[in-house]
A and B are shown apart, each in its own frame.
Chain A
Amino acid sequence: MIRIRRGHQVYQQVCASCHSMSLISFRDLVGVAYTEEETKTMAAEIEVVDGPNDEGEMFTRPGKLSDRFPQPYANEAAARFANGGAYPPDLSLITKARHNGQNYVFALLTGYHDPPAGVTIREGLHYNPYFPGGAIAMPKMLIDGALEYEDGTPATEAQMGKDVVTFLSWAAEPEMEERKLMGFKWIFLLSLALLQAAYYRRLRWSVLKSRRLVLDVVN
């Protein structure tokens, strides 16, 4: 919970300027990362276009809990234009959308190294061994001390990486813990039911299975 809260802070301060999370609403954070009051205050800081009003015009209002997270760019074309042709993907489902998503995102964010000998990356791209192809448009964003956590935890690269990956995993699969608990419970119960059903089937069929049929001549 506290880690999801820190992860959200990392997202907001480091990632939200380029990456949208258009499937998450402010109300999803209530009870998970922040209290309702805190979330309402956070939502009210952004301006949202709403409407049309009675006069048929669109108007702007402060955000509410039911609003989605704000988008940094109006559309994909604007995002590409602002980032040299590269589109910063929406992060709402990113840990599910990449193979071994949690480990991949952590390795990617913390794994910026110098390129190997013989490899040159063109201007505007950066080398990252975990990115397919090696050349990623995003520069290294997680730097020690890049932000100050609310609760005073030291903001090292690994700390921020783990927090933001926890946050992104929660965003992609908020139901994960409940789903797994349900899974354990029902797989256990259904296995018991399976054993019981198997026993009962064999009990009822034992009559037929223990029959003896004799073919004989008719005298």
Chain B
Amino acid sequence: MADEEPVDQKKYLEEGCKPKCVKQLRAYEACVKRIEGDESGHKHCTGQYFDYWACIDKCCTDSILEIEIIEGQCCVTLASCGAVLS
């Protein structure tokens, strides 16, 4: 393999999906700001956090399906493609 440092496929997809989930990310950041000064320990942003990651996960699975359909022919030659899709 030519790759000395293989790029993790899942992280690559997640990076690509971040622009699609900006709305959830902003909501999460707004929540973080809201609870900034809280000392009671009861406030948290798990809801917005889950919304954001659910959006990322959904976008990743859609991307994987797209990649599989488009690159179905080249799996034989592209080693990195074959690693995830074979």
A interface vs B, CB < 8 Å?
2-3, 107, 110-111, 113, 116-120, 129, 134, 144-145, 152-159, 161-162
CB distance from B1 to the nearest CB of A (A): 6
- The 8 A CB mask of B60-86 against A (1 = contact, 0 = none) is 000000000000000000001001101
B interface vs A, CB < 8 Å?
1, 3, 5-11, 28, 31-32, 35, 38, 41, 43-46, 48-50, 53, 57, 80, 83-84, 86
Contact (Cβ within 8 A) A156 B45: no
Taking a contact as CB atoms closer than 8 A, the residue among B49, B80, B84 that contacts A116 in the complex is: B49
Residue of A nearest to B52 (CB): A116
Contact (Cβ within 8 A) A117 B44: yes
* Alpha-carbon distance A25/B57, docked complex (angstroms): 35
- Counting chain A CB atoms within 10 Å of each CB, the highest count among B10, B50, B84 belongs to B10
* Alpha-carbon distance A157/B86, docked complex (angstroms): 16
B7 / chain A contacts, CB cutoff of 8 Å? 156
Q: A116-B46, A118-B44, A129-B50 are in contact. Are A3 and B8 (CB under 8 A)?
A: no
CB distance from A3 to the nearest CB of B (A): 7
* Alpha-carbon distance A136/B38, docked complex (angstroms): 25
A118 / chain B contacts, CB cutoff of 8 Å? 35, 38, 41, 43-46
